[in-house]
Chain A
Amino acid sequence: MKNLSLSILALLFTAVSSFAQQDAITKYFSQYQDDVNFDVVYISPKMFSMVSKIEIDDMEPEIQEVIASMKGLRILHTDVDAVKYYNEALKKINTSEYELLMTARGDGENIRFMIKDNGDIVEELLMIVGGGNDFAMMSFIGNIDLKKIGKLAKALDIDNLQYLENLNKDSKEKSGAK
């Protein structure tokens, strides 16, 4: 009887621990997806499969390769209380789940790259940008080759450092259209 009670307790403890370690990023995105201060972009694995099938003549081979290996994209952005949300995100990320890849600070902006890996395979690349006027969190899911990610900017040959501003503008236009 005592053993049985211990087994039940152990089962409960295991279950509670596993729930506590749930995907913090998903929870974080879900928390703010309906918040008007946030721009949210979500591209599902199904949409990725559709994107990889469409015929685009001028698609760069580098991006084609990266898209083929990706399964999901989540973007969360706000230009309100950027530092507050940046710090909050760092606190909520389960550090046992994500490994810090690199970090940079400059021009009033903090950038953190974190990965979730399974051996040699990077399954998720998470970028958190905070400070100044913007807070952004981007999560790329799939089999990610970090070398290819670095080469993309050059291959695409587009100045995209204003991307977050554009994202904000697009989002406002969309909500205005509604």
Chain B
Amino acid sequence: MDHNSLNKYWEAETTPQEEQQLMNEHIQTDGSEAAYFKMIHEARQKRSKLSIDDIKAYNQQHAPAHSGPIVLPLHRWIASAAAVLLFIVAATGLWNYSQTMSQEPQMAETFDDPQEAYEELREALAYMSAKFNKTQDEAFSNIKKAGVYADMFK
């Protein structure tokens, strides 16, 4: 057993070849370091059995659910601020537009004199009232007719 080599190993000064040689020597013994080197040996053996397909399968299995581009927090904050700003601008614009649209187009006043307006209003009301009564009479007459027809088919 080469204690110098072992010390060199613990100091992490051995080359890979020396390390392999040291491991080969120790795994065949029952010394205090044997368990450690056996474990390392087994681990390396296991790892060496992995094929590229195994690695791909492992990667696929452990791939993160969201594989989109990574967004930096600062960019996310700027995007949110821009969206909020856009929303406020759009809402303000819409509100102004709705205010403009909701104002009824102004019609020019026909009369300057209330007396003239009254005369016109009186005649217009009389005309509408006459038409209202005429239409109402016709509607009642149609209702009566409908009743008569309904009786005929009973």
Contacts and interface: CB of A to CB of B under 8 A. Distances in A.
A138 B121 contact: no
A161 interface: yes
A127 B91 contact: no
Binding site of B, secondary structure by majority: helix, strand, loop or mixed? helix
Interface stretch (A41-49, A82-90, A116-124): A41-49
Nearest to A7: B87
A66 B125 contact: yes
Contact of B130 (A15, A23, A51, A153): A153
A172 interface: no
Interface in A100-119: 102-106, 111, 113
B110 A166 contact: no
Contact of A4 (B83, B105, B132): B83
Interface string B116-154: 011011111111111111111011000000000000000
A12 B124 contact: no
B134 A160 contact: no
B58 interface: no
Interface in B17-37: none
Contacts of B139: 102-104
Given A26-B105, A149-B129, A160-B126, A43 B98 contact: no
Interface in A66-85: 66-67, 73-75
Contacts of A4: 83-84, 87
Given A8-B90, A160-B126, A113 B110 contact: no
A1 B76 CA distance: 10
A8 B127 CA distance: 50
A169 B97 CA distance: 41
Q: Max chain B CB contacts within 10 Å: which of A7, A18, A42, A125?
A: A42
Given A54-B114, A104-B134, A18 B98 contact: yes
Contact of B109 (A15, A42, A102, A103): A42
Contacts of A40: 107, 110
Given A40-B110, A103-B135, 17 more contacts: A11-B94, A12-B90, A33-B108, A43-B120, A44-B109, A47-B114, A51-B121, A54-B114, A56-B115, A67-B118, A149-B128, A150-B129, A150-B136, A153-B133, A156-B129, A160-B127, A161-B127
Nearest 3 pairs between A and B by C-beta? A163-B127, A153-B129, A152-B129
6 contacts: A30-B105, A30-B107, A51-B114, A102-B135, A102-B139, A149-B125
